[in-house]
Amino acid sequence: MSVRILIGAQWGDEGKGKIVDILAPKTDLVVRYQGGANAGHTLKFNGKTFVLHLIPSGIFHDGCQCVIGNGVVIDPFTLLQEMDAVRGMGVEPAGRLFIAETAHVILPYHKALDKANESSKGEGKIGTTGRGIGPAYVSKTSRRGIRMRDLLDAGSLREKLDEALIEVNLHLSSLYDAPTFTADELIPDLLEAGRQLAPYIRNTSDMVHDAIDLGQSILLEGAQGALLDVDHGTYPYVTSSSPTSGGACTGSGVPPLAVTHVMGISKAYCTRVGNGPFPTELDNELGEQIRKTGHEFGATTGRPRRTGWLDLVALRYAARVNGMSELVVTKLDVLDALDEVRACTAYRVNGVETKVFPLGCETLEAVEPVYTTFPGWKTNTIGITSFDALPTEAKTYLDFIESYLKVPIKIVSTGPDRTETILIEE
């Protein structure tokens, strides 16, 4: 039995979808454990590119069952559209996709609250995608949420909506001068969505525990990245859930002692979307070159990502918080043309060098990164599938990362396609 948690070890967009796709053939159950449709997991194979937002990335492998766990917030209409898109790719989700009955629902008023709140902040915007993720988690924690099981019961749905809308409409009207909602206008579409999703909704916690008892292999798939965790990330510039390994347990029902591996994913450089501190950011021509070469534009929003050198101080912090036992390095090929490659190995704070990642944004925004410089390999690595076949300079760079973090590198991605991958054996 193996229970592996797959986490983004930076600010998201590390390439988790591809890695899940690679690991899925040897996995019985893939469980998405947090986030919502604001995350886009990109897969590329057979000359085609697919972007999944809610459905776990193992859906394209016949022997793999897929679960949307209780920690995910679900827009049922977006999910139905995505299921149709998967069918259009020749894959039938029926019998292989399961939705936690206790997962919370993103409703139209969550999107309205999200957009109104973000617009009101002016220059202080967080950079939300406007898909209602944050407000849905607020409803959940304030005990005013609607869960997937409620879409199957008209009486329960009306009762809970009537109660929730008292507070929601007060916020929309008094704080934002925005249109309000009624239960009558929401219920028909929600019940229809529930009717269509009913065959997929079940007690997934019991399903996961049965898989553990049977000794099956389980992969817990996160969204976003550890540095966006609501507790451990660069607060307040974070997501509204816990992408860390701890969040994997609460968002799936897997007990901590069942976890056997924690695999972190990092790009060979850094990116970040939206606002927030970014010590190694390259706001110059080199940063633009990396952005264009790496196609660093959001799979969900299309927004250009900020780019910078690899931040090993931040990555070390992510490794410790998550208990990372394995590391994946993606997009190594994006650095192929550079004369030199840098990695931040310390911060200088008030003239003092440290390897400790500051937990306050004010401090993090003021740090001076201390770099170690490596010669570039100036050689095409796209599609290389053997570590030994990599240029010496690239191997030196990877060896340094592994040594600094004290976490073994198990996979190196050398291109977007599932075949463009180095699998490093024990």
Catalytically active residues, by annotation: 13, 41
Q: What's the gap between Cα 268 and its chain centre?
A: 17
What is the dihedral sign for C-alpha 265, 267, 273, 278?
Answer: positive
Q: In sequence order, what are the residues at sequence separation of 6 or more whose Cβ sits closer than 8 angstroms to the Cβ of residue 153?
A: none
Measure the CA–CA gap between 66 and 68, rounded to whole angstroms: 7
What is the dihedral sign for C-alpha 137, 248, 31, 41?
Answer: positive
Measure the CA–CA gap between 4 and 164, rounded to whole angstroms: 37
CB 107 within 8 A of CB 169: no
The angle, 0 to 180 degrees and rounded to 10, between the axes of the packed helices 183-197 and 76-88 is 40
CB 212 within 8 A of CB 218: yes
